[in-house]
Structure 1
Amino acid sequence: MVESRRNSLVRDIAYHPTTSETQSITGLLDDSYLFDELKKLSLAVESSKGMQIVGGSESNRSEANQPEAIPSVNGSKTDKYSYYNTYLDQLNTKIDEYKVVLDQTRQINDQLNGSIEKFHDISQDTKVFIDETKTIYEKQYKLRNLTESIPRTLHYFEVLDPIMRRLNHANSPAIVKKGSFATMLTTIDESLKFLDENSEFKDAGAYRIKFKQCLIRACELISHFLHNLLKQTNQEILDKTKNKNLLTGLPSSTRDAFLYSKFSTIADTFKTQVSEIVKRSNDKAYHKYHDELNSILHECFNHYFQTRLKLLTPVIWSHIDDIILKDKEQDLVRFIQDGKAYFQQLCTDEYKLFVEFFPERECRFKINQWFLQLCEPLYDSIRIRVLKETDISMLCDSVTLFAPYYEFEEGSEEYLKQFTDIQYDKLFEPIVQKVQARLILRVQIYVQQNILSYKPTRDVFMISNRRRKSKSSSKEDNKNSATAKDSSDPLLESYLSSFKNRNTLSNDADEEYTDSEDANDRISQLQTYYPPLLKTLALLSKIYEMINSVVFDDLAHHIVHDCIISLRNAYDMVIRSSAGKSDINNLDVSLAYLKNLLMLRDSIQNFNIQYTVNETYLDFSGVEGFFKSLKENGRNVLKKTKSSSILTLARELVPKVVNNMVDARTELISELRNVIKDFTENTSLELIDDTLDTKNDGQLLAKNVKLRENIKARLPRICEQILNYIDDQEIVVNLLDAVQELITQSYSKYFELITELAENGKLAKDQVADVMYLDVFTDFFAKEVADLLRNGRISTGKK
C-alpha cells in the first residue's frame, strides 16, 4: 500500500513523535496542554495506521489517496485542521498578550531610564555640593584651629616678660624652694621646646636666646641656694664642735654623727634641687645649652666636694699620723695595707653620702674623680715611704696588695660587675705606679750590683759545682762559695726556700729521701749554680706579673742579657786563668758553663717574655772620630775642614739616632752553641791526642792502637765528667753524639789522607792495611758510647 505524501503536520508528529523539531516547538511554545493533545492525536494516528495494514482491502488502499479524516478524541470525525487552527488562534492570542506585556515592559524600562538619568543628575549636583561644602569646612576648620592656637602660641611668648621680671628681681636664692619656681622652670622648658620646633616664627631666635638666659639664671639661683645650704650646714657642724680641729679628738661614733648623720639631713632638699640641673644637663633636647648647664653643675659639685674636704681633711691627716706612728717600725706592706683599708672605708662612706645628694647614675663618675683628690694625703705619705724602700721583695709584696683590682680588662663584663660603684683600680693606680716605678729602679740597681758588677773567683765553675757531694763537704764548700757570701740576699734566700716544696730541677728521681733531705738536696743543687744566675732567676720570679707586662718584657730582656754577659765574662776569666793547665779542668769549666746556660734556658721558659725589643740610642762615633783624627793629624784635618763646607762638617758631627733590634733568646742560643762547640773540640783533642799525626810514618799501627786505648780509657772519665754536671739524659746523649761525630770526621779525613799517601807510594801499604777502616772505627766508637751510656744510667740512677 502506497502511503500519501501530502504534507501533514499531524502525520509528521505521528511518525516522529520525539523528534527534535517537536521538542523544539514544544520547548518554544511551552504549552503543556497542546503537548498532551498532540500526544493523544499521535496515538490515534498510529492506531488507524495499524488497522489499515491488517485489513489490506482495496477500498482501504483507495481511501488512502483521499484526504484523511482526523478522528476526534471521542471517535467522531472532524476537520483535520481544526485543532491546528485552534492552536494557531491560541498562539496568536498569546502573542498579542506577550506584545502587550512587552509594550508595558518597554514603558517601564523607559520610565526606569528616565529615573536613572534623574538620579545621575542628582548625584552630580550632590558631588558638587559636597566639594563646595568640604572646601568651606576645611577653611572653617583651619580658621578655628588658628583661632584656638593663637592664644596658646602667644602664651609661649607672653610668659617671657613675667619670668624675666621675677628672675631679675629675685632677692634671695630661697625662691627655688617655692612650688611656683618649679612651675616656672617647666614653663621655660615648654617655651624652649616650642621655639626649637617652630624656628620659622618671626623673632623665634631672639626669644629662644632670652628664654635660654632665663633657664641659666634659674639654674644659677639653684646653684647659689645649694651653696648656701652647704655652707650653712658646714658652719652649724663647726659651731657645735667649737673648732674644726676638735673633730679629730671626738670619739668615732660622735665624729661620724657630725660628718654623716648631721650632714645628710639636708640631702633630700639638696637632691630635689640639683636634680633639676642634672636632668637638663643630660637632656639631649638641651644639647645647645650643655656647656652652660654643665658649668653650673660643675659648680654644684665643687661646692659639695670643697665642703666635704674641709670637714674631712683634719680627720684624714690625724688618722694618717696615727698610721705613721703605729707603723713607724713596721714594713712598707703593713703601712700601705693600713692606709688602704682606711681610705677604702672612707671612700665607701663618702659614696653612700654622695648618692643621697646627687642622682647616682648620672653623677657616679664625678665622685670617682674626686676620690683621687680625697686620697692625695695617702699618695703623699706612701710616696715618701716608697722612696725610702730598697727591698725588692717588699716592693713586690706591696704591688700584690692591689692585684685583685687588676684581674679583669677595663670595660669587660667582669670589670663592670666588680666596680659598679667605686672604681678602686683608678683610685689606687697612683700608688701602684709609684711602687712599680720604685721597683723598676731597684731592679736596675740590683742587676747592676749583683749581676753585672759581680766579681767571680777562679774556682766559680770548678769543684764547688760538682753534682755529687756529701753533706759535710757540701756545707764546707758552701761556706767558701760565692753563693754563701751572698746568703744575706733576702731575694735569693726567698727563691731558694721556695724550692722546698717543688720537684728537683734536674728531674733526678733515682734516690728516695725524706722530705727534709729532699728539700736540702734541691737547695744544695741550686747553690752549685753561678750566683748571678740564681739571682737573675730569683729576680725574674719575684717581679713576674708584678708590673706592667710591656715593662716586664723590657726588663726581663735586659736582665737575661746582663746575666749572659756576666756568665760569659766569668767563663772567659776562668778559661784564661786555667790556660796551660790540664784539659780536664777546661772540660769542667765548659760543662759548668753549659750547665748554667741550660738552667737559664729552662727557667726563663716559665715566663711569658717577649725577648725581642727595640733599643734606641745616640751614636757619637762621628764626633769621636773627628776628635781622634784631629789629635793624630791635626793640620791635615783642619785643611780638609776648610776645604769642605760648614754644613757638611756639621752633618758629620751630629749624633745619629740608631734603632737596634735585640733578641736575648737568640743570644742565649748562640752561647749554648758556642760552648757545646768548645766542649766538643776540647774533648776530641783530648781523645785523639797525636794519634792522627802522619809525620812519623813507621808508627801508624801504634798510634792507631793508642787511639783505641785513649777512647777506652779517657771516654769513661769524660762521660763521668758530663754526668757530674748534666742530669738531662737527652743532652748527655747529644754531647756524646757530637763528640763521636767530630772524632769520626777527623778519623775519616785521616784515613783518606793515609790511603792517598799509600796510593802515591809515600806510605807502605801494609802499614795502612793494619789501620782500622772507617766503618770499623765508627762501629767501635759507637759501641763504646753505648756501653758508657748504659753504665752511666746505672751509676746515676737512670732507668
Structure 2
Amino acid sequence: MHAHLVTVTETITQKLSYFSEFDHISHILNTPGETLVKEPGFITMLQKLDSCLEFVSSNPSYKDSGLFKMRYRQCLTLIKMYFVDALRKLVGEIKDTLSQRSTNEPLPPNLQLSLFYSKFVTFASKTKHLVIEIEKRCAGHPEYYYLLKDCLNAFTNVRKSLLSPYISDTIKQMQDPNLMTFATNGCAYLLRVCGDEYQLFREIFTLGEDSIRSYIDSISQLLSQQLRPLILKEVRIDILSDLCNSLLLYLEPNTYEDGKKNNESVRYVVEAILEGAQSRLSFRAQEFILSEIRQFKPREQEILLLARGPGLPKPAAVNPITSVSELLPITAENTPISPSLSSAFESEPPVIQEVDKSFGGGEWYPTLQRTMNLLAKLHGAIPEASFDDLAQDAVESCRLTIIEASDMLANKESPADAHLFIIKNMLQLREHVSYYDAKFTRFKSAFKFVDVLDAIKDVFAQPLRFQSYGNLALPFIKTQNDDVRQLLDSDLRKACENFILGISQIVCQPLIVFLGQCQPYKKPDSLANQPFASPDAVQSVHDSFVKSLQANLLPQILLLKNYLGDKNTQLTLIRIAKNSIVGSFIDFIAVVKQLHLIIPVKNEVEISDIIDQILEFGMH
C-alpha cells in the first residue's frame, strides 16, 4: 500500500511539474521585452514548452490545455517578430549607410552588393540558432512549418527588394547586340550573384529548397527578360547551337568558378534560359529542313555542276555564305542560283573547298552538306527526343532530294550517272548518320478500312445481301515503323544493282540479244536451224561482244572512278559487274557447245583476263 501511494505521489508531482513550468513560462512571456528571444535561456524555455504542449496534447481533458496552446502560439509569434524585426532593422541600417555615402561619393553597384552580403552574414550568425530549432520541429508540428515558411518568405523578399534594382541596372549595362556575348557575360555575372545568394541562404536555412529556387528564379528572370527578345529574333542556327552548348556546360556536375560547388544555383539560373534557346533552335531547324533541304530545287543548268560527272568543272571557291561552291559563275547577267543560307549559318572567311578523296572529285550535294551541318549543330544542343525527330526529318528530306536530283541527272546525262550520284551521296549520308546514337525510327499509326471497303463493294454488287453484313469488321489501327536508315540502305542497294546491271547490259548487249533469241527454242535441233544460230552469226556475236567489252567497259570504270574516289568501293562494284559479264559469256559458251559449233571463241579465263587488264588500266 505504501509503495502504491509513493507511485501515485510521484505521478502527480510529475504532472504538476508541467503546470509549474508553464506558470514560469507564462510569467516570462507576459513581460517579454525585445531581448527575450536573444537570451540564452530562450531555447531551453522553448524545449520545456514543447514538453508541456506534448503533455496537454495527450491529456486534452485538462481545462488548461487551451491556455497551453495559446502560450505556445505566443512564443512562436515572438520568434517570427524577432526574425522579421531584425530583417527590417538590417535593411534600415543598409539604407542609412547608402544615404550617407550618397552625399559624398556613391558606392559602385558591386560594392553595394558586397555591403548587402556582409551585413546579412552577420544577421545569419545571430539567427541561425533559432532557425535550427524551428527546422528540427517542422516534421512534428505544423505550427513550426508555417513559422519557417514565414521566415523564408521574409528573408527572400527582403533580399529580392534590395538586389533586384542593382542587378537590373548591371544587366542593362551589359546589353550587347551580339547574343552570345550578352548571354555569356550576363550568365557569368548572374551565376556569381546567385551563387553568393545560395551560399548566404544556406548560412541560415537547411530546409526551404522551394523558397530558394523560387527566389533565384525571380532573379534569373531579370536576365531572361533581356535575353528572350534576342533569342526569339536570332535566326542563325550556329549561334543558337553555340548558346545551347555553352549553357549546357554550366549544368555539368561541379562546374563553377573558384571551385565552388553551387550547382543548384547554377541549374536554377541556366535552365530557364536554356529552355528558351533550345525551343528556338528546334523551331529554326524545322524551318531550315523545309526551306533549305526539302524544297531545294536545282535548275537544269546547274545539276551537272552539282553532280560532278566526267568532264564537269572543278570545284570553285566556297561561298562564305552558303559554304558550298557557287553553282554558276557570277556575271553581270547572272547571279548565283544557290539559295542563301545566311539566315541559318554564321558566315565564315572564304576558303577553297578541299577535294573529298573518298567520295568523288567535288563537294557534296548541297542538301547533303546542309543536312550534315545541321545534325552536327543540333546533336547535344537539344534534348535527345527532339534531336531524334529533327534528324529523322532532315535525313529523310535529304534522301528525297538526292533521288529527285538523280532523276534530273538521268535525263540530262545517263542512267549510270544517276545511279553513281545516288551511290556517292547515299554512302556519305549513311556514314554520317552512323555517327549519331539516335533513333531514326518513327512510329506511324493509320486506320485500315480494308474489310469495310470490301464489304461495301459487295453490298453495291449484291444489294439483297445487305443484312448478311451485320457483323462487319470495324476499322483497325495499324502501326508502322519507318526507319530512314533502312530506306538509305534500300536506295543504296538498288542504285548499286542498277549500275551493275547497266554495265552488264552495255558491255554484253550482243550476248543479251543472242541469248534472248535462243530462249524460245528448247531443243538444239530446232535452234540450229535458225539463221541467227549459224556459225557465222554466232562468230559475229562473239566478236561483237569482245569489241563491246574493250570499247564500253573502260568508260564505265572511268565514270565510276570520277564519282567515287574510294578504291575499295570501286573494286567492289567492278568485281560484281565482272561476275555478271563473265556469267553472261558462260551462258553464251553453253549455247555454242549445245550447237556443237567449232569456231574460234575465247574461253572464260581469257574474258576474265581482258576485264582485269581494262580494270587495271582504268584504275591507274
TM-score, normalised with respect to structure 2: 0.80
* Contact 1:595–1:725 (8 Å) recurs in 2: yes
Q: Which residue of structure 1 lines up, in the alignment, with residue 345 of structure 2?
A: 491
**2:272 is matched with which residue: 408, 411, 430?**
430
Q: Which residue of structure 1 lines up, in the alignment, with residue 612 of structure 2?
A: 786
**1:176 is matched with which residue: 33, 37, 60?**
37
Q: 1:450 to 1:235 in 2, by over 3 A?
A: same
Superposed, 1:53-132 pairs within 5 Å as: none
* Contact 2:251–2:267 (8 Å) recurs in 1: yes
Aligned equivalents of 2:71 and 2:611: distance in 1? 100
Aligned equivalents of 1:471 and 1:710: distance in 2? 29
Equivalent residue of 2:439, what SS?
coil
Aligned equivalents of 1:220 and 1:149: distance in 2? 33
Q: Which residue of structure 2 lines up, in the alignment, with residue 673 of structure 1?
A: 493
Equivalent residue of 2:612, what SS?
helix
Aligned equivalents of 2:305 and 2:157: distance in 1? 71
Q: 1:217 to 1:741 in 2, by over 3 A?
A: farther
* 1:267 and 2:124 aligned: yes
Aligned equivalents of 2:477 and 2:84: distance in 1? 57
Aligned equivalents of 1:309 and 1:189: distance in 2? 34
Displacement after TM superposition at 1:334 (Å): 0.5
Q: 1:739 to 1:206 in 2, by over 3 A?
A: farther
Deviations 1:327-352 (A, max 9, x none): 13xx2111101110121121133234
Equivalent residue of 1:485, what SS?
coil
Displacement after TM superposition at 1:492 (Å): 8.5
Deviations 1:89-135 (A, max 9, x none): xxxxxxxxxxxxxxxxxxxxxxxxxxxxxxxxxxxxxxxxxxxxxxx
Equivalent residue of 1:607, what SS?
coil
Equivalent residue of 1:381, what SS?
helix
Deviations 1:587-622 (A, max 9, x none): 122212211111112222222222223345x76999
* Contact 2:419–2:498 (8 Å) recurs in 1: yes
Equivalent residue of 1:156, what SS?
helix
* Contact 1:320–1:339 (8 Å) recurs in 2: yes
* 1:614 and 2:459 aligned: no
For structure 1, the 5+ residue unaligned runs are 1-138, 282-286, 509-524, 759-764
**1:601 is matched with which residue: 430, 434, 439?**
430
* Contact 1:227–1:300 (8 Å) recurs in 2: yes
Task: Count matched residues.
Answer: 579
Aligned equivalents of 1:562 and 1:273: distance in 2? 65
* Contact 1:461–1:530 (8 Å) recurs in 2: no
Deviations 1:145-169 (A, max 9, x none): 65445423321244345646765x5
Q: 1:205 to 1:376 in 2, by over 3 A?
A: farther
* 1:288 and 2:140 aligned: yes
Q: Which residue of structure 1 lines up, in the alignment, with residue 524 of structure 2?
A: none
Deviations 1:625-644 (A, max 9, x none): 9xxx9xxx9xx99xx9xx99
Q: Which residue of structure 2 lines up, in the alignment, with residue 533 of structure 1?
A: 368
* 1:770 and 2:599 aligned: yes
Q: Which residue of structure 1 lines up, in the alignment, with residue 196 of structure 2?
A: 349
* 1:445 and 2:287 aligned: yes
* Contact 2:195–2:262 (8 Å) recurs in 1: no
Q: 1:498 to 1:218 in 2, by over 3 A?
A: farther
* Contact 1:461–1:588 (8 Å) recurs in 2: no
Aligned equivalents of 2:487 and 2:440: distance in 1? 10
Aligned equivalents of 1:658 and 1:205: distance in 2? 72
TM-score, normalised with respect to structure 1: 0.63
Q: Which residue of structure 1 lines up, in the alignment, with residue 550 of structure 2?
A: 712
Aligned equivalents of 2:299 and 2:398: distance in 1? 16
Aligned equivalents of 2:389 and 2:310: distance in 1? 38
Q: Which residue of structure 2 lines up, in the alignment, with residue 700 of structure 1?
A: 538
For structure 2, the 5+ residue unaligned runs are 319-323, 330-335, 518-531
Displacement after TM superposition at 1:485 (Å): 3.2
Q: 1:789 to 1:345 in 2, by over 3 A?
A: same
Displacement after TM superposition at 1:479 (Å): 3.7
Q: Which residue of structure 1 lines up, in the alignment, with residue 527 of structure 2?
A: none
* Contact 1:323–1:338 (8 Å) recurs in 2: yes
Displacement after TM superposition at 1:206 (Å): 8.4
**1:663 is matched with which residue: 475, 483, 487?**
483
Displacement after TM superposition at 1:469 (Å): 8.1
Aligned equivalents of 1:566 and 1:252: distance in 2? 57
Displacement after TM superposition at 1:532 (Å): 0.5
Q: 1:600 to 1:293 in 2, by over 3 A?
A: same
Aligned equivalents of 2:288 and 2:447: distance in 1? 27
Displacement after TM superposition at 1:274 (Å): 2.7
Q: Which residue of structure 2 lines up, in the alignment, with residue 393 of structure 1?
A: 238
Displacement after TM superposition at 1:540 (Å): 1.1
**2:16 is matched with which residue: 135, 154, 158?**
154
* Contact 1:462–1:592 (8 Å) recurs in 2: no
Q: Which amino acid aligns with 2:172?
A: D
Equivalent residue of 2:397, what SS?
helix
* Contact 1:492–1:538 (8 Å) recurs in 2: no
Displacement after TM superposition at 1:735 (Å): 0.9
Q: Which residue of structure 2 lines up, in the alignment, with residue 514 of structure 1?
A: none
What root-mean-square deviation, in Å, do the aligned CA atoms of Structure 1 and Structure 2 show?
A: 4.4
Equivalent residue of 2:241, what SS?
helix
Superposed, 1:198-217 pairs within 5 Å as: 203=60, 211=68, 214-217=71-74
Q: Which amino acid aligns with 1:452?
A: R
Superposed, 1:748-759 pairs within 5 Å as: 748-750=586-588, 758=595
Superposed, 1:237-636 pairs within 5 Å as: 237-238=94-95, 241=98, 250-252=107-109, 255-256=112-113, 258-281=115-138, 287-289=139-141, 291-324=142-175, 327-328=176-177, 331-356=178-203, 358-359=204-205, 361-362=206-207, 366-408=211-253, 419-420=261-262, 422-458=264-300, 462=304, 465-466=307-308, 474=316, 478-481=325-328, 485=338, 489=342, 491=345, 506=357, 527-575=362-410, 577-578=411-412, 585-615=414-444
Aligned equivalents of 1:573 and 1:464: distance in 2? 11
Q: 1:419 to 1:679 in 2, by over 3 A?
A: same
Aligned equivalents of 2:170 and 2:402: distance in 1? 51
Q: Which residue of structure 1 lines up, in the alignment, with residue 82 of structure 2?
A: 225
Q: 1:213 to 1:683 in 2, by over 3 A?
A: farther
Q: Which residue of structure 1 lines up, in the alignment, with residue 333 of structure 2?
A: none
Which one has a bigger Cα radius of gyration? 1
* Contact 2:53–2:72 (8 Å) recurs in 1: no
Deviations 1:628-673 (A, max 9, x none): x9xxx9xx99xx9xx99xx999x87xxx876432211101000101
* 1:727 and 2:561 aligned: no
Aligned equivalents of 2:618 and 2:260: distance in 1? 58
Displacement after TM superposition at 1:378 (Å): 1.2
Displacement after TM superposition at 1:468 (Å): 8.4
Equivalent residue of 1:660, what SS?
strand
Aligned equivalents of 1:320 and 1:780: distance in 2? 82
Equivalent residue of 2:443, what SS?
strand
Equivalent residue of 1:159, what SS?
helix
Q: Which amino acid aligns with 2:38?
A: K
Deviations 1:202-226 (A, max 9, x none): 5489888875664444223211221
Q: 1:303 to 1:567 in 2, by over 3 A?
A: same
Displacement after TM superposition at 1:574 (Å): 2.8
Aligned equivalents of 1:750 and 1:184: distance in 2? 113
* Contact 2:180–2:243 (8 Å) recurs in 1: yes
Displacement after TM superposition at 1:304 (Å): 0.8
Q: Which amino acid aligns with 2:131?
A: V
* Contact 2:309–2:559 (8 Å) recurs in 1: no
* Percent of residue pairs identical: 23
Question: Is the deviation greater in 147-156 or in 561-570?
Answer: 147-156
Deviations 1:251-291 (A, max 9, x none): 2355236533444453333333333312322xxxxx432x3
